[in-house]
Amino acid sequence: MGEASDDGSIHDKDNVYTWDEAFAVKVGSLNDGGFAGHADWRVPNRFELESLMNLGTNNPAVTPAFDTACADGCTVLTCSCTATTFDRVYWSSTASAGFPPWAWRVDFNSGDVISASKGSSFYVRAVRGGS
């Protein structure tokens, strides 16, 4: 699931997006460029993002496979990075049913899963396959 580097590219772990930009800019760029030979990248749903968390750890609270070998200049071929800021908040594709201008986001630092304004800027990990 997903890709994240530390190389200043579209894959960079430090890039943040509004909810609409997560689809149009992040995922759009991956699909338009056929990243990794595929054009079916998407923003993961809330439950997919939650499945990456390891609440037995913190800073970040993610499964180690999603935060390995991260170093300045590493690429998606050599590392898998999670944001290094205190608020490691990632967008999901799941909109808030009770308040459509908001969507669910997952905090990989604290483990919180709450909704936020779609105009907020958060990180994005792209996925493919499934729904």
Amino acid at 31: N
Whole-model pTM? 0.84
Looking up tokens 């304004």 gives 117
- What are the tens digits of pLDDT across the range 41-94? 999 999 998 988 887 877 777 777 777 777 777 777 777 777 766 678 999 999
3-state secondary structure of 116: strand
CA distances from 59 to 15, 107, 111, 116 (A): 18, 10, 10, 21
- Section 93-108 average pLDDT: 95
